[in-house]
Amino acid sequence: MSTLSDLANAQGRLTDVDVEWLHRLAGDGQLLADLSSADIVVWVQTEDGSFIAVAHARPSGAATLFYRDIVGERVRPQWRTQVQGAFESAEIVDSSSPDWFEETPTRVRAVPIVNDRRRGHGEAGVIGVVTRHTNLGEARTPSRQQITFDECANDIFRMIADGSFPDLAAPTSPRRGAPRASDGLIRIDVDGITTFASPNALSAFNRMGFDDELEGESLAEVTTRLVPPSRQVDESLPVVVTGRAPWRTDIEARGVTVSLRAIPLKDHGTRIGAILLCRDVSELRHQEQELITKDATIREIHHRVKNNLQTVASLLRIQARRTHSDEARDALTQAMRRVDSIAVVHDTLAQGLTQKVDFDEVFHRVLKLVAEVASAPNTRARTHSTGRFGVLPSEYATPLALALTEVVTNAVEHGLAGQEGMVTIDAARTEENLRVLVRDTGSGLPEGRIGQGLGTQIIRTLIQGELGGSIEWRGSEGGGTEVVIDIPLRWLTK
C-alpha cells in the first residue's frame, strides 16, 4: 500500500514542507478519531481537481464506517462538494443533513488543512482537507465525557483550519507508552484550573497519592504536592501541567509513573486552555530501566572479556619472545593473533547499545592486526578491501572475524612468503547471502593442494560448522590463490 508521502507527492501540488505538515497531522489522526468517536480521513487535491485519501484513522471506542481501507481512493460524489468547499473557502463546512454511507446515516464535517508556514510567506495556506465521518446509527445519549471529548475535538478542528495545529514545537517521535485519549484526559482552562478529568485520568492521579477530585484544582499545584521535594523533576513539568507548550513529561510519585502530554488549545492564536493526556506507564518505565541495566551489564561483560583476552594475548606474546624454539614461537604468535581478533569483536560490542556490530569496522581493525603480525622480515604484503559486510550479530561476527584472520594470515605467510604482493578482500552481501573473496598475488597452492594445518582446520570448523557456510580454495588466474567463502544469512533476525 502506498504511504502518505507517495500519495501526496504523486499529485505534484505539495512541497516537502506541506508533506511534513500532513505527516504531523496524520500522526494525531488517532487522537482526533477517539475524541470525535468518528472516522478521520485526510484528503489532498489531485491534478484534475478531485481529491484522494492519504490517511485514515478509525475510532477506538466507536464503530467504524470504513471497514475496508479508504487510503488511495478518490473522494466519493456525496462528499465532493463539501470537501471542495472547505478547500476553496478555507472554512469548516458541515453537512446540512445526514448523509448515507452503505445504508448507514452519517454526519460529515470537512475541515481545511492550513499550513501556517505557507501562510506566513503570503501564499495560499490550504494544502488539504480532513473530514470527520460520524456514525449516526450508533448514536446514543452522550455522557459528560463524550461531550467534553467532542468539544476538545472541535477546538482542534478549528486550530487545524487556522493553521495552529499541528504544532511544530511538539515532539516528532512519541516516547514508548505515549498517552492516548482513552488512557486519561484532563482539560484545563487558561489559568491552569482543571475543568474536566476523565475517570482514567483521576485513577492515575489517585495511584500517585491524590485522593480528592481534580476538577476545580490547579493541576500545577496538585503535581507540586504529589512530587517529593527530594526528587529531581523534568524542567518541562511546569510548562506541561499548565498547558503552555505541546511537550511531554513524566510524573513519578509513590512508585507510580504517569506520562503526560499537553496540547495547548488556541482560538485564532490566543490560548484558551489545554488538553492533557495522561497514562500510567509504571510497568513500561520499569521494563525500560531493566533493559538499560541489562544492556549496561552486557556491555561491561564484553569490556571485561576484551580486557582478559588482551591479557592472555600479552602473556602469549611474552612467552613467544622468550622461547628458543622457532616452531613454538610461531605457534604462540598464531595463538596470540587469534585471541586478539576475538578481543576486537568484544571491544566493538562493549561500545554499542545492541548485540550487533558494524563488521566493516571490526574487519578493518582485524586487517591491520594481521598485516602487522603476519608479515615476515622478507615479506612485504599490502592489503586492500572492497565492498561491505554490513551489520552482523555477535554470533556471526566472532567466528567470521576469526576465520578471516586465518585466511588472510595464510595468504600473507604462505602465499606471499619471501616476496612482495597484494591481498585483496572483497565482500558482497545480499539479503540471503554473504560472499567473501580473498585473493593473493603469491605463488599459489603447492601442487594445487589445500593445506592440512591447524589454521585450515579452524577455518573449516568456523565457516562450515558454526556459520553453516561453504569455503573453497582455488588457483587464481595469473598466479596466486583465491578463497571463496559463502555464508547464508537466512537465520539473521531482520
Going by their DSSP bridges, the two strands 433-440 and 481-488 should be labelled as antiparallel
194-197: strand order across its sheet: 194-197, 185-189, 270-280, 256-267, 248-253
174 within a domain of the structure (yes/no): no
Work out the pLDDT band at 55, boundaries 50, 70, 90: very high
Residue 345 · residue 362 · CB < 8 Å: yes
Rounded Cα distance, 226 and 237, in Å: 13
| Angle in degrees, 0-180, between the axes of helices 29-36 and 16-27, rounded to the nearest 10 | 40
289 within a domain of the structure (yes/no): yes
Q: What is the pLDDT of residue 494?
A: 45
Q: What is the CATH number of the domain that holds 247?
A: 3.30.450.20
Same domain, 150 and 113: yes
**Domain C-terminal end among 352, 370, 404:** 352
Residue 420 pLDDT greater than 80, yes or no: no
Q: Average model confidence (pLDDT) for the chain?
A: 83
Q: What is the CATH number of the domain that holds 58?
A: 3.30.450.280
Least confident span in 206-210, 355-359, 388-392? 355-359
Residue 32 pLDDT greater than 80, yes or no: yes
Same domain, 10 and 151: yes
175 within a domain of the structure (yes/no): no
Least confident span in 231-240, 321-330, 429-438? 231-240
Same domain, 309 and 398: no
Q: What is the pLDDT of residue 407?
A: 84
- What are the angstrom distances between the C-alpha of 48 and each of 112, 260, 322? 19, 44, 85
Rounded Cα distance, 30 and 39, in Å: 9
Least confident span in 99-108, 351-360, 371-380, 430-439? 371-380
Same domain, 314 and 435: no
Same domain, 468 and 364: yes
Same domain, 132 and 202: no
Structural domain count of the chain: 4
**Domain C-terminal end among 231, 257, 280:** 280
User: Would you call 384 helix, strand, or coil by DSSP?
Assistant: strand
Least confident span in 308-312, 354-358, 443-447? 443-447
Rounded Cα distance, 401 and 339, in Å: 11
167 within a domain of the structure (yes/no): no
- Out of 47-61, 133-147, 352-366, 391-405, give the one with best mean pLDDT: 47-61
- What are the angstrom distances between the C-alpha of 409 and each of 93, 261, 316, 434? 75, 58, 18, 21
Q: What is the pLDDT of residue 51?
A: 94
Same domain, 151 and 68: yes
**Domain C-terminal end among 260, 280, 300:** 280
Q: Which domain holds residue 237?
A: 181-280
Same domain, 303 and 442: no
Q: What is the mean pLDDT of residues 452-465?
A: 79
Work out the pLDDT band at 227, boundaries 50, 70, 90: confident
Q: What is the pLDDT of residue 108?
A: 92
Same domain, 61 and 106: yes
Q: What is the pLDDT of residue 34?
A: 94
Q: What is the mean pLDDT of residues 296-319?
A: 75
Q: What is the pLDDT of residue 58?
A: 93
Q: Above pLDDT 70, what percent of the chain?
A: 85
Residue 367 pLDDT greater than 80, yes or no: no
297 CB burial (10 A radius; 0-12, 13-18, 19+):
exposed
87 within a domain of the structure (yes/no): yes
Residue 295 pLDDT greater than 50, yes or no: yes
Same domain, 15 and 154: yes
170 within a domain of the structure (yes/no): no
Per-residue model confidence as pLDDT tens digits over 108-134 = 999 999 988 776 555 668 999 999 998
Rounded Cα distance, 492 and 85, in Å: 53
Q: Above pLDDT 90, what percent of the chain?
A: 30
Residues β-bridged to residue 194: 188
Q: What is the pLDDT of residue 104?
A: 78
Same domain, 305 and 268: no
More confident residue, 161 or 283: 161
Q: What is the mean pLDDT of residues 436-444?
A: 82
168 within a domain of the structure (yes/no): no
475 within a domain of the structure (yes/no): yes
Per-residue model confidence as pLDDT tens digits over 75-106 = 999 899 999 999 999 999 998 777 777 777 88
Rounded Cα distance, 166 and 365, in Å: 48
Per-residue model confidence as pLDDT tens digits over 335-362 = 777 777 777 777 766 666 566 778 888 8
Q: What is the mean pLDDT of residues 43-50?
A: 90
Residue 261 pLDDT greater than 60, yes or no: yes
Same domain, 313 and 439: no
Least confident span in 82-86, 233-237, 358-362, 431-435? 233-237
Work out the pLDDT band at 330, boundaries 50, 70, 90: confident
Residue 147 pLDDT greater than 80, yes or no: yes
Q: What is the mean pLDDT of residues 183-196?
A: 94
